[in-house]
Structure 1
Amino acid sequence: MDLPADLSLPLERGAPWWYWLGGRPALDFTNTFRERWNRCVETLVTGADLGEWLVQAQLLDTVPPVTGPALERARELREAINDGVVAALAGEPVPEHTLEALAAALPHAARAEAVVRVDGTLALVPAPPADPVAHALGLVARDAVEMFGAADRIRVCASDTCSARFFDRSPTGNRRWCSIRGCGNVEKARRHRRRQQETRT
């Protein structure tokens, strides 16, 4: 979906401009870099943005502190995943550097177990991750690996003014728009106006 033409750039805060149309965390993550076709708008502007995004994506329960290096690693992982998406859209294999980035992040998705008492008995529960940001990015990497296993379902919105990536879960596998109510309706309106103009001329 388009960003406002008069939007002041670069953004000071990215959260108002996130959208959740990707159909899976890996694609929602790539979509945090908006307007890849035009203005290239970064919405993970600060570490606080990344921490909040990880919670809104339901990868963490609480917003973690995020250092500058962690934010940079997250952006690098995002772009490596996007390079894999671009390759998949072109019918090409996932690039080697994408595989390497996913392999580096993936081990952090695992969580150790802790033993606790529950009603007088012992039980195993997931232990809090030592590095919540790395853990959440590991979950994104795991989702990306699963997604690339079904690469023929990866799509980019058909609108000329949208670069949203999404995973096509439709039964027929022919979904074209990131959002029917958004880009789909906008494109239908544009086609209608063009037909009216052609009729008048």
Structure 2
Amino acid sequence: MRYAIAAGFAALLLTTGCSGNTVVRYKLTFDTPGAGDQQELTLASIRTIERRLESMGEQLVDKEVTVESGSSLLTITVADRTIADLLTEDLTQPLQFRIMEQAPEAQADTVVIGHGGFRETGIDDRSLYSASASEDAEKKGIIQLAFTDQGRTALAGVFRRNKGAYIGLFVRGRLASKLLVESDTLREHIVIRDLPTSEIARVFADDLNVGIHVTFTRLP
């Protein structure tokens, strides 16, 4: 079943006549049940694509979206085939979200220079439900991480073991944030504060939400 994209969803006519441009089609599939979630994740996916292209020194030439029940068809135009291939490789990389606890380097699963050793806790992509971004009164960025029931159970154990110590949030194998566990009781969310700007928080939240809930499949 197809349905119209709600007002405010930017859907541009596809331009194929520009010399040298390459058209790429992706099927976006979602593991969330609601149409509202699907629409928001499609928008977040487009923002993520635009940022990934900007990091390559490129930009999105054009885009067109068709929304269906449980999936979206996203057609984009980029500068050339090489950029299209690099973008596809980037979008199909797993998120590899991990929460790890600090450990002596001799017992660690990974060591981060300047931050010490960390070991696995079993908390990964399957444990994270969503990320939301906001800002405080000083315009600093805030991220709230919500977890599944199983994730919260595992995280409660991590908090009990690590009061007064640090835990590390890793994304794609890199340390994204290091948090001090101030209480042995898990609150409703994990809150990451004092990001330099709210825009950085929004970028991080988009990256996590798309990585958790969206699968990109490149179509012929």
TM-score range for the pair, normalised by the shorter chain length:
under 0.3
TM-score normalised by the chain length of structure 1 = 0.27
TM-score normalised by the chain length of structure 2 = 0.25
Q: Which one has the bigger strand percentage?
A: 2
